[in-house]
Amino acid sequence: MLSVIHITCPHCGASGKVSLPPIGALVIGPCPKCSELVMVFSGHALPIDREIVMGASPDEKHTHLMEVLHGFLNQQVERLVTDLEAAQEAAARGESLDADDDETETDDAGVIQPGQGQDAEPSAEVAAPSEDAVAPSEDASLISQEEFDDFVRVDLQMLDNKHYFRTFFE
C-alpha cells in the first residue's frame, strides 16, 4: 500500500498529504496554496527561499540548501542529546522511560516535539508505513514484486473510491 506523509507548509501553514519519498531523499516543490518552495526531508517540510533556488548561482543554491538542512539536523541532534541525557539521569535514579511515556507533538515547522498524545492532529506525521514498504531496494527507481502485488491487490482496486483517491490527490 502507498505510504503518505502529512506535511504543513512552513511558509503559509497550509497542510496536505504527499507520497512518502524514499529514505534520505530531498524533494523540493511548491506549496499548492502560497507557491513558496518547500523541501521535504525525512518526513518534515522545510522552508526554501524561491529566489535563491530559482535564480542564484550553483554555489549559492548549495549553501542555502545546506544551511536549511544543517538547521534541521542540528535541531534533531540537540533533541536526541537532550533525550539521551534525560534517559541517563532517569537510569541513574533507577527509573525507566517507557516508550508509551514518550509521546510526541510537532511544532509549527513540522518538527516532532515531545509531549502530545497520538490522538492529537500533528502538523507533520508519517503515516505508519510497514518496514518493507520503505526499505530501500538495490535500485530505488524499481519497485519490488511485493510492492507491485500490493498495489494491484489494494490500491488499484480502490481508485474508484473517491475518499481513498482524495487521500492521495487532494
Per-residue pLDDT at 115 exceeds 70:
no
Residue range 78-86: mean pLDDT, rounded: 91
Domain ranges of the chain: 4-129
Q: What is the pLDDT of residues 26-67, one digit of tens each?
A: 889 999 899 999 999 988 899 999 999 999 999 999 999 999
- pLDDT score for 137: 45
* Site of grid cell 510492492: 147
Residue closest to 33 by CA, chosen among 51, 6, 15, 7 = 15
Phi, psi at 113, each rounded to 5°: -120, 145
Contact 59, 79 (CB under 8 A): no
Grid coordinates belonging to 156:
488499484
